[in-house]
Structure 1
Amino acid sequence: MRKELWFGVSLMILIVGAVAFFMPSPADWTNGHLGLLMLALIVVAIMLGFPTAFTLMGMGVLFSWLAYRHANPEIAVAQTLDLMVQRAYAVMTNDVLISIPLFVFMGYLVERANLIEKLFRSLHLALAWLPGSLAVATLITCAVFATATGIVGAVVTLMGLLAFPAMLRAGYSTQLSAGAVTAGGCLGILIPPSVLLIVYGATAGVSVVQLYAGAFFPGLMLAGLYILYAIIIAKLKPSMAPPLSAEERRIPLSGFATTLRENFSERALPALLLAIKGRRNASVPAGYIARQLGVVLMPAIFVALVMSLMYAAVTAPRAAQGPGLVEMGAVAESTESSFDDLQAPPSEASTDSLQPPPADNVTPKPAAPQDVAPAAQTAAPAVPEVAEAGSRPAPAWFWITLAVLVAILAVFYWFFNFARLEVFKMLLASFFPLAVMILAVLGSIVFGLATPTEAAAVGSLGGALLAAAYGQLNYTVVRDSVFLTVKTSAMVCWLFVGSSIFSAAFALLGGQALVEEWVLSMDLSPIQFMILAQVIIFLLGWPLEWTEIIIIFMPIFIPLLDNFGIDPLFFGLLVALNLQTAFLSPPVAMAAFYLKGVAPPHVTLNQIFAGMLPFMAIQIVALALLYIFPGIGLWLPQVLYR
């Protein structure tokens, strides 16, 4: 028997043995014990290979009937069927879930636009000066592509076909290559727009918008730690990640670029500026020079545009302070006089009721409508003043930022030769379209311009436009994308239906109350509870996938958070970071099996597992950093929404 089967069988025996040991005799079972038995049976059934969604529904219906039968056997069947219908209907009317098929459709369209090869090649050449440049380019490509698609299997498979053989040919170790591909491909379940965050938000009742804002910096932190590890390994052990040869770094230039370089300068900007009116540019068309100059000046134009907008914002006239507490009757009368009697004057009764309380025991005279008008005329000049005259001077930090950016641009253009210009054009054709689409989708969500569903619809349109721009939008691509989207969305929605029925049965049996009573009896501090919860989730990631963990176990953990004063948003960020292990931990480790399916025959599954272990350790470090410094995840939601 294979090691994976031994592990699975041993784990199932351990679960069944623990249930048999801790459960009382059947004669003493309560409904709460039935709930715990249902939870154990669910895990064992899933490990045996039964479909998760229908296992949840089957167990939920069976144990719901047992719970209702214990209360009233005569109507138990009717109540069970009513529960099934109500839970299924609640899932169907959940607006948050509409964004799942749209994001998945966007991912499949982007996947079929064939951007990943160009993206990997351009990043590989742009980062050739870094130690471990191939591994770094692989991780960045995985992060960008996983963010655009959110489909772990697709990213790992494509990078396994493209980057994995390239790293092996360059002399990289099998373990480092496998770890970079599998760990990088899993970033899509954490970095928004992530389907995992949508599922958690719908399960826990947490705003998906705030989850997206909170997961942005933890996702970047985890990707940065991966890249840092690859650079350190390449620096300390060059045999595991040897530097690229000069031939591999060479970038072929066009004939026009070679002419400009030889006649004017190695640097692109001076050469193009001198060639505009020079006598030696006869062999180089003016249109070519203008196009290349426009590409070269793009960074400077972008910086100028951003700093101009920032200057307009920081020097805008400051809003003047209002006159303080103004008599509401006077404001109404002022408005009336300003708009030529478009409003009726306030009645005497309403004016009396809006008067401030009398001061110094002096009873004010009730104001008649004709008495209010002079006061309104007196207060009127102060009301229209909403801004001070003239603009404000720009603060010192603006000029410091401008000076730093100008210095960076000067250094950039000093080293910006024609070879780097070719790499920059490759990035313009591969990286920037994806980046613009991702930032448009995330920015519209995070800044409140669109709901996740609306942004997902825009992202689907962007994916279709990208596929069309690269000549990949045809009937076959659309048909396959729609079919895979329906398949994935149906799986997620059936999981929600099964989870809803299962959670209802667990609550009916009193399992949730029993778990809560047991946890509270341990007298844990919030830190101890958080550590216990994350350790349980980490261990559950070994035999189960992230969908099963969120669907089955989050409804058990979420009600306990109030008892320990833990923010469900912060808990969700920790869970999302922790669930990266569900794709990297054996024996399930779906990312390893995705890579094994496309890897060369000499690469073994054990080598892939060995390569994933350091990246699992990095995930634990990232989890600890997020817990120690919660501002990494909570700062952006607090700034934007609280």
Structure 2
Amino acid sequence: MSEFIGLFMFPALLVLIAIGIPIAFSMFIVALLFGLMRFGDAAMSLFVTKTIDVSSNYVLGAIPLFIFMGAILQGSGVADRLFQAIYMWTRRLPGSLALAAMLMCTVFGAVTGIAGAVETLVGLLALPPMLKHGYDKSLISGTICAGGSLGTAIPPSITVIVLAPIANVSVGDLFAGIMLPGLLMAGLFTAYILIVSWLRPDFAPATPLEGEQPSFLEKIKVTFVALVPTVALIVTVLGTILAGVATPTEAAACGAFGALVLSALNRKLSFGMVVGALYQTLSITAMIMLIVLAGNIFAAVFYASGGMTEVKTILTDYDIAGWQAIAFVMVLAFLGGFMLDLISIVLILIPIAMPLVVSYGVNEVWFCVLFLIVLQTSYLSPPMAPSIFYLRAIAPTDLRLADMYRGVVPFIVLQVVTFLIVFIFPEVALWLPRMFYGN
């Protein structure tokens, strides 16, 4: 029995989470108790080894750099100018403000890599004008929540950077793999907003055109100043990764430097702003790295205690294999999204799932892309949708939870459609990795 003691780590973890202990400390406590029970004092050497492994992991060094890049761009006024530039082009279309918000989420999803940061930033910019012009509250809620969730599916997603080394997949491969599904999802979201706003004008009343309208050349100039530098920064960062010219950490460093340059060109760079961005980077990075360390230690104790062997035994006893086992992992990931943050789900499930994926001959990049889409769907799904809690924190009181729950449903359906497309047509996820890396 003692050789399979690791199997009981998950019920113990759920109990600690249920009584309110933060996920990172819950994993630390469970790993420590079960490690001592199974290996005695020798467990401490495992803890030290994993701490060294995480702290010296070169890929994880990209996390604070990408967070810093996003924080600088948020604090420099780039986001506000970018929103105005995008809205200038969408204002004659049905649902113009909602379309601008979704496109803004897509662009800034490729800047910050953090879903909550994208949702908060765009929500603060887009909520007031949409409420002012009488947009349907469910459409407002669904647009902000779904758009914010794109930070998970569009590179440089922090979740991808954490997932890749655990899944033993190249970060570049996974960035390339998730790019087309992420853009496909953003396209479906945008099309839905356009169609529903056209069919139901009362959902998105037309905004009056006030004052003298800019000419086409003036629009080009404003767009060039606001949009082109940001997009160029994104293309440079992701392009160097996909082309194999730079590692994710090197590209993130270039991105952070580029954000400082853009901020200086906008005359917004100041000591106070940089200090604020550094503080934000430190707090978010500390939280993420603590969870990553706890998850690595938890997984190491689970493996060493025979947990993976027992999982395979159970699957064999119940004749669960191949796609049944993969589907079971996906269901666990979806349900886990109701009570755990996305990185914690990755750290708990991926070490169990990947040996099964490899043994069943499933393409690892394809599986990881499907896994990320499921995580993003759980992030948006009631009743415990984290995206709704982010929106609740910045929304006025007259924007009710019922509006938010109703608003996210069509976008959840579109996420399921994206999952099915990637599942049925694997090349959607595998074409870019093969083109760039021949995998």
User: Normalising to structure 1: TM-score of the pair?
Assistant: 0.66
Q: 1:218 aligns with which of 181, 188, 192?
A: 181
Structure-2 residue corresponding to 1:436: 232
Question: Aligned letter for 2:424?
Answer: I
Q: 1:129 aligns with which of 78, 89, 92?
A: 92
- 1:205-258 per-residue CA deviation (whole Å, 9 max, x = no partner) reads 11001111111111100100101111121122221122333x35x5445xxxxx
Matches of residues 549-588 of structure 1 in structure 2 within 5 Å? Answer: 549-588=345-384
**For 2:35 and 2:359, how far apart are their aligned partners in 1?**
27
Per-residue deviation at 1:624?
Answer: 0.8
Structure-1 residue corresponding to 2:206: 243
Report sequence identity in percent: 37
Residues 1:50 and 2:50 aligned together: no
Residues 1:520 and 2:325 aligned together: no
Larger radius of gyration: 1
Per-residue deviation at 1:607?
Answer: 1.5
Contact 1:190–1:215 (8 Å) recurs in 2: yes
Per-residue deviation at 1:127?
Answer: 1.6
**For 1:530 and 1:154, how far apart are their aligned partners in 2?**
31
Contact 1:544–1:588 (8 Å) recurs in 2: no
Structure-2 residue corresponding to 1:626: 422
1:42 is paired with a residue whose SS is helix
- 1:362-403 per-residue CA deviation (whole Å, 9 max, x = no partner) reads xxxxxxxxxxxxxxxxxxxxxxxxxxxxxxxxxxxxxxxxxx
- 1:528-585 per-residue CA deviation (whole Å, 9 max, x = no partner) reads 3333322221122112210110011111111111221112211111111111124322
Matches of residues 98-247 of structure 1 in structure 2 within 5 Å? Answer: 98-245=61-208, 247=209
Per-residue deviation at 1:131?
Answer: 2.1
Per-residue deviation at 1:123?
Answer: 1.4
Question: Aligned letter for 2:86?
Answer: L
- Does the C-alpha gap of structure 1 residues 215 and 92 become closer, same or farther in structure 2, counting only changes over 3 Å? same
Question: Aligned letter for 1:573?
Answer: V
Q: How many residues align?
A: 438
Structure-2 residue corresponding to 1:371: none
**For 1:41 and 1:241, how far apart are their aligned partners in 2?**
48
What do you get for the CA RMSD once the two structures are aligned?
A: 1.7
Structure-2 residue corresponding to 1:477: 273
Question: Aligned letter for 1:548?
Answer: S
**For 2:299 and 2:339, how far apart are their aligned partners in 1?**
21
Per-residue deviation at 1:153?
Answer: 2.6
Per-residue deviation at 1:509?
Answer: 2.2
- 1:130-160 per-residue CA deviation (whole Å, 9 max, x = no partner) reads 2222211110011101211223333222222
Matches of residues 89-488 of structure 1 in structure 2 within 5 Å? Answer: 89-245=52-208, 247-248=209-210, 251-252=212-213, 419-488=215-284
Question: Aligned letter for 1:484?
Answer: Q
Structure-2 residue corresponding to 1:536: 332
Structure-2 residue corresponding to 1:4: none
**For 2:318 and 2:363, how far apart are their aligned partners in 1?**
21
Per-residue deviation at 1:66?
Answer: 1.0
* Structure 1 or 2: more helix by fraction: 2
Per-residue deviation at 1:435?
Answer: 0.4
Unpaired stretches in structure 2, ≥5 consecutive residues: none
Unpaired stretches in structure 1, ≥5 consecutive residues: 1-28, 69-75, 254-418
- 1:15-73 per-residue CA deviation (whole Å, 9 max, x = no partner) reads xxxxxxxxxxxxxx5542x32321122123224331222221111011011112xxxxx
- Does the C-alpha gap of structure 1 residues 512 and 185 become closer, same or farther in structure 2, counting only changes over 3 Å? same
Structure-1 residue corresponding to 2:301: 505
Question: Aligned letter for 1:41?
Answer: A
Structure-2 residue corresponding to 1:256: none
- Does the C-alpha gap of structure 1 residues 207 and 251 become closer, same or farther in structure 2, counting only changes over 3 Å? farther
Contact 1:38–1:59 (8 Å) recurs in 2: yes
**For 1:516 and 1:63, how far apart are their aligned partners in 2?**
20
1:596 is paired with a residue whose SS is helix
**For 2:259 and 2:186, how far apart are their aligned partners in 1?**
24
Residues 1:59 and 2:30 aligned together: yes
**For 2:332 and 2:192, how far apart are their aligned partners in 1?**
27
Question: Aligned letter for 2:286?
Answer: A
Contact 2:17–2:23 (8 Å) recurs in 1: yes
Residues 1:637 and 2:436 aligned together: no
**For 1:109 and 1:225, how far apart are their aligned partners in 2?**
30
Contact 1:214–1:573 (8 Å) recurs in 2: yes
Structure-2 residue corresponding to 1:299: none
Question: Aligned letter for 2:17?
Answer: I
Contact 2:70–2:111 (8 Å) recurs in 1: yes
Contact 2:154–2:179 (8 Å) recurs in 1: yes
Q: Which moved more, 1:228-237 or 1:630-639?
A: 228-237
Per-residue deviation at 1:524?
Answer: 4.3
**For 2:414 and 2:91, how far apart are their aligned partners in 1?**
24
Contact 1:100–1:198 (8 Å) recurs in 2: yes
Per-residue deviation at 1:171?
Answer: 2.1
Structure-2 residue corresponding to 1:496: 292
- 1:473-511 per-residue CA deviation (whole Å, 9 max, x = no partner) reads 111111111122122222222222211221122112211
Q: Which moved more, 1:460-469 or 1:505-514?
A: 505-514
Contact 1:111–1:149 (8 Å) recurs in 2: no
**For 2:19 and 2:274, how far apart are their aligned partners in 1?**
35
Question: Aligned letter for 1:634?
Answer: L
**For 1:534 and 1:503, how far apart are their aligned partners in 2?**
18
Q: Which moved more, 1:517-526 or 1:623-632?
A: 517-526
